[in-house]
Amino acid sequence: MDKVHAVELKGVTKSFGSNMANKNIDLFVDKGEIMALLGENGSGKTTLMNILAGIYLPDEGRVFVDGKEVTIRSPKDAFDNRIGMIHQHFKLVDVFTAAENVVLGLEGTGRLDLKAASSKVREISRKYGFDIDPDKKVYEMSVSEKQTVEIIKVLYRGADILILDEPTAVLTPQEIEKLFAVMRAMRRDGKSIIIITHKLNEVMAVSDVVAVLRKGEHIGTVRTSETSPQALTEMMVGRKVELNIGRKDPVDPKPRLTIAGLTVRDSEGVKKLDDVGFIAFGGEILGIAGIAGSGQKELLEAVAGLRKIESGSIIYTPEGKAPAELVGKTPMEIKDAGVALAFVPEDRLGMGLVGGMGMTGNMLLRSWHKGKGIFVDRKAPEKLAADVMERLEVVTPGIYYPVRKLSGGNVQKVLVGREIASSPSVLMSAYAVRGLDINTSYTIYNLMCQQKEKGVAVIFVGEDLDVLLELCDRILVLCGGKVSGVVDARNVTKEQLGLLMTSVGGKEEN
Amino acid sequence: MGALDFIVALIRAAVFNGTPLMYGTSGEILTEKAGNLNLGVEGLMFMGGAFGLLGAFTYGNAMGDSANGVVAVIIALVCAFAAGCFGSLIYAFLTITLRANQNVTGLALTIMGTGVGQFVGEMMRLKVGGNVAISNALKLAFANSPFPQALQNIPVVGPLIFGYNVFVYLGIIMIIVMHHFLAKTRKGLYLRAVGESPSTADSAGINVTRYRYFATVIGGGISAIGGMVYTMTISGTVWNHTGLSGEGWVAVALVIFCLWKPINSLWGSVLFGALLILYIRLPIAFIPTQIYKVVPYIVTALVLIMVSIRQRREDQPPAALGTAFFREDR
């Protein structure tokens, strides 16, 4: 009866200073099983997995692999125990090729045989159905390719226990399907997989069992077939949560942004936006859908004045004021006019926040030029920081604690909270809920809805089509920098959106 | 003197004056490849110069006429290398183990190294009551070419290829070995990974601390040999308390010029060697010497500008250069 588990944790505790990240956790995974590890931001999922991967040393507790007690002091120990982790922020050397990254850290002869490495990479690729060129440099790769390299890296080392930390956060729906197919292939191969994710539909789709963490504690493990998204959410949050977005019909929508013929090129001269035109109304949420890299980022940046516009016009009509042309204005002027941009980049901290500063300092970044005299006014941003912390439930030791050290989701809350707080009349957000847990995501959706009800024109670039359909009033679909269509979110299906995303006008390609 | 003779003489002088840079730079490249920006090269070269001379001088004094030139060269090499290793070991301990700021620590090492070098050099001077010099027989071992006279006598080719002191050839071999190590071996790949992304290297099971210590200490030792080569060749085995100053900084600039590739320091050091002596070889009346001395730095700045315009990823400094690594950092 007493089955030997592939990996088992007993009484694992880890704290950072006064912050208890993991409290007395018992957890196990069996061979040939996919476990989803679920929990809100800062519930200690990544910390727990980092303990298995040898990044952190637990304060207390024991780890068993195949029934034998092991001590994992370093990533090398983890490999020796056939545990491999794919981190959320990829651990790859950009200037190396895929093959060079894969052989990193392996013992072997002094001379580097990259040919042999390349052919083994190809062999693994064939076995699990990856598509990768071993001699391609990492900096030339897409996010999905980088992730593939990470997975090959752990497979190359013969890992039997794979940990994937939010692998789907940056992938397109198609890439996610591919990843799941690979995971199922690995499961058939007898490997154990632990996947950290926030998306409940993914949990339901791919996992065999679900373990839920809440505030560093293991709440329970259930079989996926015997649970539901609603039940999981309750376990995660600890109370009943309404998973509905209270979408109201737009009240008296007035044109706020009128964009026509917008064309933008990137630094290499490639057209990123091609003759884009649409109207964003006040009191409405306009969703923007499209395959990653279809021009979403460029569109928002062009409106915010961060990108050089080749041709076109952006007419901004604030409440009760005369229309004004935004093209040619500086980002500061555009921002002061009431157009706010909350952009969550793939690496979160890259754009918009200064990692080494606390919440207060980051709030200041939006208001520093408003103070009188030569001294900075700290009172207002302090108050704002405290306000954002409370309203969005940011988990941080204090408003002066460097945001770099916060967990990813909390960093995002700071960013979005700051933009909303500037009470804009146009609010643009891109990937506002990327990597956020379900509860926080809904907090953000509701904030967007509140803004809309206040008469703000909200532009919401999203990745999850289900959310776009539920949250937005109209959805603009971009395809290769062109407007593929503008549809009413209440009368459109996911499939129709998908078609528009892949071909302009939604016509089948011949 | 014909044009050919002039060019041959100029190239020879460039190689001669570039040799200390060859060591100073390639040592620093090794260090920086692992992610440590050691600005203490100037100090390390001073220490290498002083201790290299001290070693050869002590040996010459102790052995008298029976002193062997080859042994003296080896002793000077070992003393300089050891002094450099010691100096960079302090730096490594502060920046790697204690995670002190690399820039500040490097500058402190420069101040300390120049001080120690000057102290040792001046002490030797006081002791002998004048210029420290080693016997002529030993001097020749440092200055002469290791190749037979017949080869050196071949016109043009002889002086250009076979006519240099032993440190030129040692330096070339060392740089080729280093290039091969970094480009072709497993350990070299790991060392570069440590400099590009220590957390990646760490999660791949590479001991970041060990690699950084290794690169910094060995690199510092190699840099220090450059100082010894300067003292024993260019300043003629005499302690000259201003001669070395600035060499280390040129070496640091040359690292950037070479785009962190040791193989480039082969010709880069010759070019910089030429720039350093241009004011003697190619004087133009109305241009003051000081302007000439700025040229290496201007060239470095131009290279930096060109590299940043071209944006080739392979030409960028190691991504983690100047940052400390702590595994549990969040």
* A-interface mutation test, from B101, B177, B199, B203, most A Cβ less than 10 A away: B203
Kindly state whether residues A149 and A213 are assigned to the same domain: yes
Q: Are B19 and B168 in contact (CB under 8 A)?
A: yes
Name the residue with higher pLDDT: B8 or A171.
B8
- Considering only CB atoms, B186 lies closest to which of A95, A108, A139, namely A108
Kindly state whether residues A190 and A262 are assigned to the same domain: no
Question: Does the distance separating the beta carbons of B206 and A112 come in below 8 Å?
Answer: no
CA B71, distance to chain mean position in Å, is 22
| Amino acid identity, position B124 | M
Distance CA A426, CA A339 (A): 5
| Amino acid identity, position B107 | L
Please give the residue of chain B at the shortest CA–CA distance from A14.
Answer: B328
- Encode pLDDT of A447-477 as tens digits: 888 888 888 888 998 877 888 888 899 999 9
Question: CA of A396: how far to CAs of A21, A164, A406, A432, A493, in Å?
Answer: 12, 25, 7, 20, 40
Last residue of a domain, one of A237, A265, A296: A237
> What would the two tokens of residue A7 be?
């990996």
For residue B329, the model assigns a pLDDT of: 62
Question: Does the distance separating the beta carbons of B186 and A109 come in below 8 Å?
Answer: yes
**Whether pLDDT at A510 is above 50:** no
Chain B neighbors of A85, CB-CB under 8 A: 203
Kindly state whether residues A184 and A257 are assigned to the same domain: no
pTM of the model: 0.77
Please give the residue of chain A at the shortest CA–CA distance from B196.
Answer: A93
**Whether pLDDT at A348 is above 60:** no
State percent of chain A over pLDDT 70. 93
**Whether pLDDT at A66 is above 50:** yes
For residue A287, the model assigns a pLDDT of: 92
Kindly state whether residues A181 and A204 are assigned to the same domain: yes
| Amino acid identity, position A449 | C
Question: Does the distance separating the beta carbons of A94 and B196 come in below 8 Å?
Answer: yes
The domain locations on chain B are: 3-315
Question: Does the distance separating the beta carbons of B186 and A110 come in below 8 Å?
Answer: yes
Kindly state whether residues A19 and A166 are assigned to the same domain: yes
Kindly state whether residues A152 and A251 are assigned to the same domain: no
* CATH for B3-315 (1.10.1060, 1.10.287, 1.10.3470, 1.20.120): 1.10.3470
**Whether pLDDT at A118 is above 60:** yes
The answer to the question of residue A298 being in a domain is yes
The answer to the question of residue A479 being in a domain is yes
Q: Does B65 touch chain A (CB under 8 A)?
A: no
Distance CA A264, CA A277 (A): 12
**Whether pLDDT at A27 is above 50:** yes
Q: Are A167 and A86 in contact (CB under 8 A)?
A: yes
Q: Are B104 and B324 in contact (CB under 8 A)?
A: no
Distance in angstroms between the alpha carbons of the first and the last residue of chain A: 58
* A-interface mutation test, from B200, B207, B209, B312, most A Cβ less than 10 A away: B200
Q: Are A437 and A409 in contact (CB under 8 A)?
A: yes
> Confidence band (pLDDT; 50, 70, 90) for A292?
confident
**SS3 state at A220:** strand
Kindly state whether residues A105 and A141 are assigned to the same domain: yes
For residue A96, the model assigns a pLDDT of: 93
> What would the two tokens of residue A421 be?
């707080």
Please give the residue of chain B at the shortest CA–CA distance from A91.
Answer: B200
Q: Could you tell me whether strands A217-223 and A209-214 are parallel, antiparallel, or unpaired per DSSP bridges? A: antiparallel
The answer to the question of residue A366 being in a domain is no
Phi, psi of A255 (to 5 degrees): -60, 130
> What would the two tokens of residue B322 be?
């100047």
Q: Burial level of B310, CB count in 10 A (0-12/13-18/19+)?
A: exposed
Phi, psi of A343 (to 5 degrees): -110, 125
For residue A344, the model assigns a pLDDT of: 61
Name the residue with higher pLDDT: A311 or A432.
A311
What is the residue range of A496's domain?
Answer: 242-338+473-510
Kindly state whether residues A213 and A147 are assigned to the same domain: yes
Chain B neighbors of A106, CB-CB under 8 A: 186, 204-205
Q: In what order do the strands lie in the sheet with A324-325?
A: A271-282, A254-265, A311-316, A324-325
- Residue A491: how many other CB atoms lie within 10 Å: 7
Q: In what order do the strands lie in the sheet with A83-86?
A: A83-86, A161-165, A192-196, A34-39, A209-214, A217-223
**Whether pLDDT at A430 is above 90:** no
Kindly state whether residues A78 and A165 are assigned to the same domain: yes
**Whether pLDDT at A237 is above 90:** no
Question: What CATH number corresponds to the domain at position A505?
Answer: 3.40.50.300
Please tell me what DSSP assigns to residue B318.
Answer: P
**Whether pLDDT at A110 is above 80:** no
* A-interface mutation test, from B186, B190, B260, B308, most A Cβ less than 10 A away: B186
For residue A356, the model assigns a pLDDT of: 80
Q: How many domains does chain A have?
A: 2
For residue A266, the model assigns a pLDDT of: 80
Q: Are B192 and B318 in contact (CB under 8 A)?
A: yes
Question: CA of A77: how far to CAs of A101, A104, A133, A159, A260, in Å?
Answer: 19, 15, 29, 12, 58
For residue A166, the model assigns a pLDDT of: 85
Kindly state whether residues A114 and A156 are assigned to the same domain: yes
> What would the two tokens of residue A178 be?
């591919």
Last residue of a domain, one of A237, A265, A298: A237
Longest Cα–Cα distance of chain B, Å, equals 67
The answer to the question of residue A101 being in a domain is yes
Evaluate the CA torsion angle A330, A333, A336, A337 in order and state its sign. negative
For residue A270, the model assigns a pLDDT of: 80
Please tell me what DSSP assigns to residue A249.
Answer: P
Please tell me what DSSP assigns to residue A275.
Answer: E
The answer to the question of residue A410 being in a domain is no
Question: Does the distance separating the beta carbons of B205 and A112 come in below 8 Å?
Answer: no
> Confidence band (pLDDT; 50, 70, 90) for A152?
very high
Kindly state whether residues A189 and A265 are assigned to the same domain: no
Q: Which of A339, A391, A346, A342 is nearest to A362 (CA)?
A: A342
- E strand segments, A5-82: 7-16, 19-29, 34-39, 60-65, 68-70
- Encode pLDDT of A495-506 as tens digits: 788 788 877 765
Question: Does the distance separating the beta carbons of B189 and A104 come in below 8 Å?
Answer: yes
The answer to the question of residue A116 being in a domain is yes
Question: Does the distance separating the beta carbons of A112 and B189 come in below 8 Å?
Answer: yes
Last residue of a domain, one of A169, A203, A237: A237
Distance CA B40, CA B158 (A): 37
Instruction: Give the HSE-up count for residue B47: Cα atoms under 13 Å, Cβ half-sphere.
Output: 28
Residue B325 Cα, gap to closest chain A Cα (Å): 13
Distance CA A325, CA B213 (A): 59
ipTM for the assembly: 0.86
Please tell me what DSSP assigns to residue A211.
Answer: E
For the residues A187-201, what does the mean pLDDT come to? Answer: 88
| Amino acid identity, position B38 | N
Please give the residue of chain A at the shortest CA–CA distance from B202.
Answer: A75
- Considering only CB atoms, A112 lies closest to which of B185, B206, B328, namely B185
Q: Could you tell me whether strands A474-479 and A284-289 are parallel, antiparallel, or unpaired per DSSP bridges? A: parallel
Distance CA B8, CA A17 (A): 67
Distance CA B66, CA B70 (A): 12
Distance CA A358, CA A363 (A): 9
- Encode pLDDT of A202-225 as tens digits: 889 999 999 999 888 898 899 999
Distance CA B196, CA B212 (A): 12
Question: Does the distance separating the beta carbons of B190 and A112 come in below 8 Å?
Answer: no
Distance CA A83, CA A75 (A): 9
For residue B1, the model assigns a pLDDT of: 58
> Confidence band (pLDDT; 50, 70, 90) for A1?
very low
Kindly state whether residues A161 and A283 are assigned to the same domain: no
Q: Which of A426, A428, A446 is nearest to A436 (CA)?
A: A446
The answer to the question of residue A417 being in a domain is no
Q: Does B201 touch chain A (CB under 8 A)?
A: yes
DSSP assignments along B21-32, one per residue: HHHHHHHHHHHH
Q: Does A116 touch chain B (CB under 8 A)?
A: no
> Confidence band (pLDDT; 50, 70, 90) for A493?
confident
Evaluate the CA torsion angle B140, B144, B148, B151 in order and state its sign. negative
Distance CA A382, CA A358 (A): 10
Question: Does the distance separating the beta carbons of B185 and A93 come in below 8 Å?
Answer: no
Question: Does the distance separating the beta carbons of B184 and A112 come in below 8 Å?
Answer: yes
The answer to the question of residue A121 being in a domain is yes
> What would the two tokens of residue A121 be?
């990479």
> What would the two tokens of residue A426 be?
């146009």
Question: Does the distance separating the beta carbons of B316 and A92 come in below 8 Å?
Answer: no
Phi, psi of A91 (to 5 degrees): -100, 80
Predicted confidence pLDDT, tens digits, chain B (330 residues): 588 888 899 999 999 999 999 999 999 999 999 999 999 999 999 999 999 999 999 999 888 888 888 999 999 999 999 999 999 999 999 999 999 999 999 999 999 999 999 999 988 888 887 777 788 888 888 999 999 999 999 988 898 999 999 999 999 999 999 999 999 999 999 999 999 999 899 888 899 999 999 999 999 999 999 999 999 999 888 887 787 888 899 999 999 989 999 999 999 999 999 988 888 887 888 888 888 888 888 888 888 788 778 778 788 889 999 888 887 664
> What would the two tokens of residue B148 be?
């037979």
